[in-house]
């Protein structure tokens, strides 16, 4: 019997000393506004569409807003969302994301459900009752990788509306974050049982019993991993890691955000990821730890890395590991930011419900690999021939 696609249903309804260099890469252009007086919660997650125009915002009170970022420069239009959704007793939205290359649908992840929304009507077209920690879309938007509360990775097929597979590697423990490289390759970030180590493992989703390559920390203060990003042509990985470092004159250690550069050298070993470099952001101001819900970072080109701590956003030079600029937001806590490469701007949001837009003179480069789609077209979709496991 032919099953109806879920998509059709929805449419139908190494640490170095830090130095701050005086170089104005970003400047605040005055386009800030208090985030929607009717909002009771704080924006904690976001997603920017492929055209870098519409931004989704999810709050800790279960509220959803859609912002046209092109209007942020106009106070009257920029001070309110173009669409909003308030549902009574809606749980905290831990994750919100547009479908790849498709503004008609988006996904939210709460403590109780995975929901797929119809953007035009802001209604739930499909949902899945299970607790998940995080998710990642495959590039074609047909498959979602999901991390369960038990730290396992399952794949949800949107065409049939059910789980189809699980990574069956017994060596994978306590998965926390995901990142697709190609249609067949995925990276998984894992944490140790006692939050004393982290690891990264890559898999071919067709042969998921054994990892393609692995990397494990060496007990040098790594306690959590919350973010993974693939580099150009999927040749390297960037991992957002919470790292504990010594504080001068104090016995206690401090948790700070760090970004690890991991690469694969097939001439040396096919099954290992090598730790090439680390940017440890030890410049966090104040006595509180500079790490929140996750390590917020983003590469804007091959030389400039953005890292957010509790109160500021920093621009790092990846060739020297020095701080080039500090963007002082003077807020309670930065919950996230989005980068618009088209107009070289940055949009930040924080606990004080303030949204700010920053202009930049950095030349942005995308890490998108245009050849990935062409390569993947040569493979047949193995998911078609597999039976449902539910």
* Secondary structure string (H, E, C) spanning 1-63: CCCCCHHHHHHHCCCCCCCECCCCCEEEEEEEEECCCCCCCCEEEEEECCCCCEEEEEECCCC
- What confidence score (pLDDT) does residue 375 get? 30
Q: Please report the pLDDT score of residue 356 as a whole number.
A: 81
336, 344 Cβ separation under 8 angstroms: no
What pLDDT does 6 receive? 56
Against a cut of 0.85, is the pTM above it? no
Tell me, what's the pLDDT at 227?
Answer: 92
Which pLDDT belongs to residue 228?
94
Per-residue pLDDT in tens (0 to 9) along the chain, 390 residues: 445 565 565 555 544 444 444 455 555 454 454 445 456 788 899 999 999 999 999 999 999 999 888 877 655 445 578 888 988 888 999 999 999 878 899 999 998 899 999 999 999 998 888 888 899 999 888 889 999 888 889 999 888 777 878 898 888 889 999 999 988 899 999 998 888 899 999 999 888 788 999 999 988 889 999 999 998 778 889 999 999 888 877 878 888 889 999 987 765 667 888 888 899 888 755 444 555 557 889 887 778 899 988 778 888 988 889 888 888 766 668 888 998 888 888 888 888 777 888 887 776 654 443 333 333 333 334 444 444 433
Provide the pLDDT for residue 286.
Answer: 43
pLDDT in the model for residue 365: 57
Domains by residue range for the chain, with CATH:
6-383 (2.130.10.10)
Q: Which of 238, 243, 242 lies closest to 221, judged by CA?
A: 243
> pLDDT for 266-298, tens place per residue?
656 678 888 888 998 887 554 445 555 578 898
Q: Return the pLDDT at 194.
A: 83
**Predicted local confidence at residue 190, as pLDDT:** 94
Residues with Cβ within 8 Å of residue 374, at least 6 apart in sequence: none
Q: How far apart are CA 44 and CA 308, in angstroms?
A: 13
pLDDT at 327: 81
Residues 6+ away with beta carbon under 8 Å from 318? 277, 279, 299, 302, 303, 304, 305
Give the CA dihedral 119, 120, 122, 128, nearest 10 degrees: -50
The pLDDT assigned to 96 comes to: 96
Asked if 111 contacts 95 with a C-beta cutoff of 8 angstroms, the reply is no
């Amino acid at each position: 019997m032919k099953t109806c696609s879920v998509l059709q249903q929805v449419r139908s309804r190494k640490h170095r000393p830090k130095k701050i260099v005086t170089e104005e890469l970003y400047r605040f252009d005055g386009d800030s506004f208090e985030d929607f007086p009717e909002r009771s919660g704080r924006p904690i997650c976001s997603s920017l569409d492929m055209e870098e125009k519409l931004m989704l915002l999810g709050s800790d009170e279960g509220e959803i807003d859609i912002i046209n970022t092109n209007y942020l420069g106009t106070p009257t239009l920029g001070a309110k969302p173009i669409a909003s959704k308030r549902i009574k007793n809606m749980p905290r939205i831990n994750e919100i994301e547009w479908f790849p290359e498709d503004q008609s649908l988006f996904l939210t992840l709460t403590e109780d459900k995975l929901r797929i929304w119809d953007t035009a009507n802001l209604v739930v077209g499909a949902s899945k009752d299970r607790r998940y920690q995080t998710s990642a879309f495959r590039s074609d938007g047909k498959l979602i990788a999901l991390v369960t509360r038990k730290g396992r990775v399952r794949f949800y097929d949107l065409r049939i509306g059910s789980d189809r597979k699980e990574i069956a590697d017994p060596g994978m423990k306590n998965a926390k974050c995901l990142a697709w490289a190609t249609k067949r390759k995925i990276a998984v970030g894992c944490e140790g049982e006692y939050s004393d180590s982290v690891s990264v493992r890559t898999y071919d989703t067709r042969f998921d019993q054994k990892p393609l390559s692995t990397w494990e920390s060496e007990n040098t203060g790594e306690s959590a991993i919350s973010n993974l990003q693939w580099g150009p042509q999927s040749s390297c990985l960037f991992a957002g890691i919470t790292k504990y470092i010594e504080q001068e004159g104090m016995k206690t250690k401090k948790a700070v955000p760090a970004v690890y550069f991991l690469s694969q050298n097939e001439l040396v070993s096919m099954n290992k990821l090598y730790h090439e470099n680390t940017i440890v952001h030890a410049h966090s101001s104040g006595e509180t730890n500079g790490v929140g819900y996750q390590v917020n970072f983003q590469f804007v080109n091959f030389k400039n890395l953005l890292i957010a701590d509790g109160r500021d956003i920093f621009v790092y030079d990846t060739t020297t590991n020095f701080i080039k600029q500090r963007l002082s937001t003077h807020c309670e806590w930065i919950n996230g930011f989005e980068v618009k490469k088209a107009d070289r701007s940055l949009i930040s949001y924080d606990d004080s419900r303030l949204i700010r837009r920053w202009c930049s003179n950095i030349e942005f480069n995308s890490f998108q690999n245009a050849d990935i789609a062409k390569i993947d077209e040569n493979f047949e979709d193995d998911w078609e021939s597999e039976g449902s496991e539910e």
